[in-house]
Chain A
C-alpha cells in the first residue's frame, strides 16, 4: 500500500478530477479543459518559475480542503496555488471571479495601446482574446499613458515596450533556454521595462523563442514585420534536420503560396510551445519542449529547406482559419480534357493587372519590413492616360 500513488480530488466549476499532489489549480483545470480553464497571461507551463504576476487566472476557492473546508478569504492566483484534497474551486461559475478578471483586464489595458490594426500579433494575441471576452468598450483612465520608443533587440527581434504587460516570460526564456542572459527587467513598478542591458544585442541561438512566448505584440519577428496579417498566411507543420543539437527542428511555417513568410515553434491548445519526444540523437529524453533555434526561425525561409507534413490544426473559433478551405473538393475539370490537355485561355490573368501578391516580388527574401521601393519593380498593368477614375479626373 505504501507504493500507492496518492491523488487529490479537486472540484472545479462542479467538475471533479483526481490530480497528483503539487498540481496547481490552473493545471488541474487544464486537465479538464474547455471553458473551465482560467486564462493565463504570464504563466507558461514550459518556463520554470513563471506565473503569479498578471492576476488574470484568479479563482475563488470555495472550500480549502477536506481537513479545513473554510473558503479562502481572497481570490487566489490559480497558477501559483496548489490543490488540496477536497478543494472546491469556482472559476466561471463565480461572479466575483468574472468581476475581478474584468478589473484585471482593465488594468492590463491601461498602458497597452489599442494598435491592433498595426500590431503583428493581432489574430494570435492572448490579450486581444482576453480583452474581447472581458474588456470594456471604453476606458476610465484619464492620465498620460506610458510610452516608449521602439527598440531593436538583436537583428531579428523588435521590442515595442509600449505594448508590454510585464509578464516576465521572455526573461525566463533568456534565463532558462539561452545560455547567457543579456535581457532582463530594468527599474521597477510603473517604470519597469524589459530591455537588453544597455541595448546589448542578443545573439543567442534560441533568443527567437521570446517572440513565441510573448503573449502580446511586444516582441515580434522583424523578418515578418508588416509582411502580412497572420490570418492571411497558411500555417503548415514542417520539420528539418537541424544542425543544432538542442533544436527540435519541428516548426510551423506560415505560408503565402510557396513563400515562407514566418517560422514559429508549434503551439499547443493553450498557446504554448508544444512538447515532443526527443530526437534520436538527443540524450535528454522524452517530453522535451519544442523550442526552435534562430537558424530555423529566421534563416530557413524557403519551402525547400523543410519537409512539410501538412496543415496545422487551427481552432475553428480562430480568425486564422478564416477564408481557408481545408478539405475542399474541387469539381472534376473537364475543359482540359476536352482541349487535349491545353489550359483554357484566361479572359484575364490577375497577375497581369494586380500589384498584390506579385510572383516577381519575394517578400520572404527581405529580412526587414517591406518598404515602398520593394513594390516598385512590379510591372503591373496601369490604366492608360485619360482613362477616368471614379472622381472624373484623368489619372496621373
Chain B
C-alpha cells in the first residue's frame, strides 16, 4: 500500500541489548525533549488577566447604535430579522409621538427589540442588511450563564450607552472600531 506521508517509520523489533534494557538512555532522551520546552516561547496566555487581540472582522455580541445626539437609529424595519438565518431577531415597532423626538431618529422605532443569543450564529447578516446603520456586531461575546432566560437580549442591553449622558461608556463601547474622523 502506498504511504500517505513520507514520515512512515518501520518499528524496530530486534531484541534489546543490556544497555537498552536499562531504559536509562531512552528516559534521558525523552526528558531532554520535555525540558527543552521550558526555553521555548509559550503558545498559551493567562486568559482572564491577558486577552488576545480580536481580529478586525470578529463578530461578537450585537449593539444597537445611536446617532451623535443619542437618538436610536433603529426604525424596526425588520430587515435584520428577515435576513437572520437562525430567526433569532424579533421586534415590535411603535410610532414616535410628539416629545419623543430626542429619543428616536425616525417616526417609527423599535418598542421591543430582542435577540435570542441561544439561536444567534453570529453570522453578521443583520449588520449587512441594516439600512439605518443601527446594528453592529461588537468585540464582546455572550457571557456564560446557568439560565437560558439570560440569553434573551433586550433592547436595553443591546443599546450602546448614550454619547452625551455617558460619554465614557460610549467611547468604551465604540472600542477601536469607531469610525476614524480623518482617514487621510
A and B assemble together: yes
Q: Which residues of A contact B (CB under 8 A)?
A: 115-118, 122, 225-229, 231-232, 319, 322-323, 347-348, 350, 352-357, 363, 369-372, 374-375, 381, 383, 387-391, 393, 395-396
Pull 24 A–B residue pairs with CB atoms less than 8 Å apart, ordered by A.
A116-B131, A117-B106, A117-B131, A118-B75, A118-B77, A226-B76, A226-B108, A322-B82, A354-B90, A356-B112, A357-B90, A370-B94, A372-B111, A375-B112, A383-B150, A388-B143, A390-B63, A390-B138, A390-B153, A390-B158, A391-B173, A393-B169, A395-B156, A396-B156
Query: B149: CB under 8 A from chain A?
Result: yes
Most chain A CB atoms below 10 A, which of B61, B63, B92 = B92
Q: Which residue from B61, B91, B107, B143 sits with its C-beta under 8 Å from A118?
A: B107
- A118-B107, A356-B112, A396-B156 known; A391-B161 Cβ under 8 A: yes
Q: Which residue from chain A places its CB closest to the CB of B90 in the assembled complex? A: A356
Residues in A whose Cβ lies below 8 Å from that of B91:
356
Say yes or no: B94 contacts A374, CB within 8 Å: yes
Residues in B whose Cβ lies below 8 Å from that of A227:
93
CA distance A227 to B94 in the complex (A): 7
Q: Which residue from A118, A319, A352 sits with its C-beta under 8 Å from B108?
A: A118
- A118-B106, A355-B154 known; A370-B95 Cβ under 8 A: yes
CA distance A390 to B140 in the complex (A): 7
A218 CB → nearest B CB, Å: 15
CA distance A225 to B107 in the complex (A): 11
Q: Which residue from chain B places its CB closest to the CB of A117 in the assembled complex? A: B77
Q: Which residue from A115, A231, A383 sits with its C-beta under 8 Å from B78?
A: A231
Say yes or no: B94 contacts A355, CB within 8 Å: no
CA distance A253 to B131 in the complex (A): 29
A126 CB → nearest B CB, Å: 19
A220 CB → nearest B CB, Å: 12
A sample of 14 more A-B contacts (CB under 8 A), given A118-B77, A354-B152, A389-B156, is A118-B75, A226-B93, A226-B94, A231-B82, A322-B82, A356-B92, A369-B94, A371-B94, A372-B97, A375-B111, A383-B150, A383-B157, A390-B157, A391-B172
Query: B177: CB under 8 A from chain A?
Result: no
Fill in one digit per residue for B142-184: 1 if any A CB lies within 8 Å of its CB, else 0.
1100001110111011100100000001001100000000000
Q: Which residue from chain A places its CB closest to the CB of B158 in the assembled complex? A: A390
Say yes or no: B106 contacts A371, CB within 8 Å: no
Query: B87: CB under 8 A from chain A?
Result: yes
Residues in B whose Cβ lies below 8 Å from that of A393:
161, 169
Residues in B whose Cβ lies below 8 Å from that of A323:
82, 87
CA distance A388 to B145 in the complex (A): 11
CA distance A231 to B150 in the complex (A): 29
Residues in B whose Cβ lies below 8 Å from that of A381:
149, 152
Q: Which residue from chain B places its CB closest to the CB of A150 in the assembled complex? A: B107
Say yes or no: A387 contacts B150, CB within 8 Å: yes
B15 CB → nearest A CB, Å: 62
Q: Which residue from chain B places its CB closest to the CB of A393 in the assembled complex? A: B169
Say yes or no: B111 contacts A354, CB within 8 Å: no
Fill in one digit per residue for B101-142: 1 if any A CB lies within 8 Å of its CB, else 0.
000001110011010000000000000000110000010101
Say yes or no: A353 contacts B152, CB within 8 Å: yes
Say yes or no: B82 contacts A355, CB within 8 Å: no
Say yes or no: B92 contacts A355, CB within 8 Å: yes
Say yes or no: A372 contacts B94, CB within 8 Å: yes
Residues in A whose Cβ lies below 8 Å from that of B95:
225-226, 369-371
A325 CB → nearest B CB, Å: 11
Say yes or no: B77 contacts A229, CB within 8 Å: yes
Residues in A whose Cβ lies below 8 Å from that of B76:
226
Residues in A whose Cβ lies below 8 Å from that of B154:
355
B165 CB → nearest A CB, Å: 12
CA distance A118 to B76 in the complex (A): 8
Q: Which residue from chain B places its CB closest to the CB of A349 in the assembled complex? A: B149
CA distance A241 to B77 in the complex (A): 35
Residues in A whose Cβ lies below 8 Å from that of B94:
226, 369-372, 374-375
Most chain A CB atoms below 10 A, which of B114, B143, B169 = B114
Say yes or no: A122 contacts B77, CB within 8 Å: yes
B107 CB → nearest A CB, Å: 6
Residues in B whose Cβ lies below 8 Å from that of A354:
90, 114, 152
- A226-B108, A232-B81 known; A348-B172 Cβ under 8 A: no
CA distance A370 to B78 in the complex (A): 16
Residues in B whose Cβ lies below 8 Å from that of A322:
82
Residues in A whose Cβ lies below 8 Å from that of B143:
388, 390
B74 CB → nearest A CB, Å: 9
